[in-house]
Structure 1
């Protein structure tokens, strides 16, 4: 009985040991960066605090390297009249024989007048008056002052309807796109998005893009929401586009998740990437074998250490060392990177030993 069972145990042990060669979710570290497995045109960089700082200065891959945004600047509350605005004047005058009013009238509305490209509006008996760059209150005071020689008691009421240069176009990515007039000079971009009904629910990982004076600025929505300083003041003529941020990296191997991950921040570190992938699998992962695979453009190659020496680079992380952990926390993932968590070669063997031990315990029951 005992001899037969021992034969069974031996056979099971052989079968269990062969499990190391069964299909896995990722490579073993030695398979990926072993001396015999790395072609000459692939560079391997061991990442530490010092090397992470050096690599941070290398050319970026997969995109231009950072988002372009600007600091919030506040201005006076009243908006300024600009070319293209419509100005409606109402003149009040109690003087008899007024040049502006009829015998029984006490007020007269003048037809809306568009502010010319030169910044002026035409006022009867006064001619062109420069109003561009003034607040509605300042324009009213100026018009009333210039009317006083012909109508000393006249009072002016002014109403301004925003034109294109005092409006913002929300093009896409919101519930109700369209043109919104600016009520003052302190309207923030989040306020404009809110007035447009908010971000379209169909968008995942939204990126906010602002186009102004021939330049484009962009920021992830999450970053915009988290930092009040980035909630910038919009200007007349701005165009706002909300779209999906298409930057992503791929993770696979001995992590809880294996998938394509889109960026929801301007930058993501290696430690953050591992967290987004669900962390290292405690049953399979080798913390000494975390790798980032990256491909650079040919023009990014350097021979002086200020950039990669090969187009294809494997960055290796030994997360059992404090120096590497700090380096991983500052090492930025680039769009298109592949984050690989190596399988542990030890843990399957430990499982086999535990299994054989259990079988021997069972055999003792039959003795």
Structure 2
């Protein structure tokens, strides 16, 4: 009797599910088969949105557009001897670092405010030259732009050199900016790239971003990039190789892959007919069609059949799930019989010694 009360390594499947047959069970039990896979795929996601949303690459023009906050440097060449723009003996003058105002204009001596916002550098040069024609008809203008905040992106974290990076063209892609920042830090485990644009946030795993050219999205002024480790985890418990919080190494992890990430089932302890996924849904998910009938759901997998193995390959683990490898009832019985056998053996030895 003392042996029956000894602690065990993991719970039995029957112990976990014994409430299933109650008149009003507090959780729903779903035996997962291949026929159930399409239905479960339509159930609401838990622990995250269910997928990442990202922008597709749409190449833009090579030139940049002047924005508020950019700084304009003008070199004005004028060959007239009595020019208003140059001093005697000089043929050029430099107007350096004029900031584009919130109204989108730059002030030019003798010409007043010239509207440059939204123009390419070539268009801006033409506008300045046109504004100067009334006072210097032969003037030639050279214009350069230093990008300000509205023409730059901020890389906040996850790279070797975070900071502000100017967009020298409308064809600047996220990969080129990440390269300029020294690339994603190698120390990050399963890095996630997050792009914040206005009120919208887009996410993609770094490995997916690097895999396909169509994911190399073009950036806009004011974009912010945050790179951090993927925070999604599931809990591994029971008669498996490890009991731990396990990160998602890829965007989707199947139940069978989760068992592998747990170090597999223990050959000596685990019940392959009793792999369970414990999942909790929000209250507003209950009663949907299709959807769970209870907030707390236990998905059961029998990994001793082809049907169960194929089902486990196609049902996904959600962040926050608990994957439990239950203990084999045979192992429990063998442990108890072994303890009783040892006790009887000690008793026999003691009796023999006494005699």
TM bracket, shorter-chain basis: 0.7 to 0.9
- Residue 108 of structure 1, CA deviation: 0.8
The whole-number CA distance in structure 1 between the counterparts of 2:308 and 2:252 is 19
The whole-number CA distance in structure 2 between the counterparts of 1:282 and 1:142 is 78
Count matched residues.
Answer: 338
Judge conservation of contact 2:20–2:28 (CA < 8 Å) in 1: no
Judge conservation of contact 1:25–1:252 (CA < 8 Å) in 2: no
Q: Label 1:228 to 1:321 Cα distance change in 2 as closer, same or farther (>3 A).
A: farther
2, 12, 17: which is aligned to 1:33?
A: 17
The whole-number CA distance in structure 2 between the counterparts of 1:36 and 1:129 is 77
Q: Which runs of 5+ in 1 are unaligned?
A: 1-17, 357-367
CA-to-partner distance for each residue in 1:85-117, whole Å, 9 max, x for gaps?
Answer: 011100112233333222311211013221122
* 2:100 is the alignment partner of 1:115: yes
Judge conservation of contact 2:158–2:184 (CA < 8 Å) in 1: yes
Higher relative contact order (CA 8 A, sep 6+): 1
- Residue 35 of structure 1, CA deviation: 6.5
- Residue 82 of structure 1, CA deviation: 0.7
Corresponding residue for residue 297 of structure 2: 313
SS of the aligned residue for 2:256 comes to helix
314, 322, 333: which is aligned to 1:330?
A: 314
* Structure 1 segment 202-281 matched on structure 2, within 5 A: 203-281=188-266
Which has the higher mean CA deviation after the structures are superposed, 305-314 or 192-201? Answer: 192-201
Which has the higher mean CA deviation after the structures are superposed, 137-146 or 287-296? Answer: 137-146
CA-to-partner distance for each residue in 1:187-216, whole Å, 9 max, x for gaps?
Answer: 222333333344456644433222211222
The whole-number CA distance in structure 1 between the counterparts of 2:166 and 2:115 is 22
Q: Label 1:283 to 1:227 Cα distance change in 2 as closer, same or farther (>3 A).
A: farther
62, 70, 73: which is aligned to 1:85?
A: 70
Q: Structure 2-normalised TM-score?
A: 0.83
Q: Which runs of 5+ in 2 are unaligned?
A: 342-355
* Structure 1 segment 1-367 matched on structure 2, within 5 A: 23-34=7-18, 40-200=25-185, 203-302=188-287, 305-346=289-330
RMSD over aligned Cα atoms = 3.1
